[in-house]
Amino acid sequence: MAEFNLKEVASNNAFGGKLVKYKFKSIALGGLDTQFNIYLPPQAQQGKVPLLVYLAGLTCTEDNGAQKGGFLGPAAERGIAILFPDTSPRGAGIEGEDDNWDFGTGAGFYLDATNPKYSKHYNMYTHVTTELPQVIEAASIPIDAKKQSIFGHSMGGHGALTLYLSSKNAQYRSVSAFAPICNPSKCPWGEKAFAGYLQGGVSEGKERYDATELVTRTTGPINVLVDYGTSDSFYKQGQLLPENFVDAARKAGHDESRLIVRGQEGYDHSYYFISTFASDHIQFHAQFLKE
């Protein structure tokens, strides 16, 4: 196993457990320093606990979900750890990566870049699914690697759905998302990301990183919860497209009792919305993580 030279940056007590921030040099991100937070509930003092991975949205860091999501209390009650990765590599020095808020730094889209300009550093898919579990295991952090689920917000909701559907029945037991980008090959955010990061552009992104496409090729039962706000400006602009995801899943014959998509009246895209339904999402995942 690779040597990651993990360093503890900070630690805060919360709900009887601890939120710990770590830093290490990431191989997946081209040798750059990266940070993540992990919340260990009080039950982790007695042994290994299940893991829920939270993927944050555009412009965010590893701190947003930990500080504002409202997840830690419910996670402590259910004995579930939460991993909060960053949203992109930082400091790659690639020309143009800091020009726009919705591409480059803070906007890694949880894919592995194939455009040579970005492929050395922009590999968030591998970072989240492979590297961070290896880091956690190497550091003997008390996580039960056989019990993992994933959730996220906006771009991170896209990432959560994509990673879950790509690794169906392998890595993650369930997925949930707040205001996810459900059909990125058909919205401006996703088209921009795919055109920039992927050598094959939008067609490659549609094939590999679009939840609405992936769900049509997913067999067997799925465990999905999605919440979005009906007053979300990005929903109204056509960036999220949850209806497309539901239609695709329905046409693929998925059991709709295991595919819960809820439009929350009057809610927006913010962490006020996320924190309102945070407990629902923790409880949803607990069904599968505690089996």
Phi, psi of 10 (to 5 degrees): -160, 160
Out of 153, 158, 254, 269, pick the active-site residue: 269
Q: Does the annotation mark 63 as catalytic?
A: no
Cα 255 from Cα 80, distance rounded (Å): 27
Cα 58 from Cα 107, distance rounded (Å): 5
206, exposed or middle or buried, with CB in 10 Å at 0-12, 13-18, 19+? buried
**Residue tagged 């290994």 (tokens):** 48
Out of 26, 88, 149, 154, pick the active-site residue: 154
Contact status, residue 202 vs residue 253, Cβ threshold 8 Å: no
Out of 232, 254, 281, 285, pick the active-site residue: 232
DSSP state of 107: B
Q: Does the annotation mark 281 as catalytic?
A: no
Q: Does the annotation mark 154 as catalytic?
A: yes
Per-residue CA distances from 65 to 39, 70, 99, 219 (Å): 11, 8, 24, 31
Task: Give the catalytic positions in this structure.
Answer: 154, 232, 269
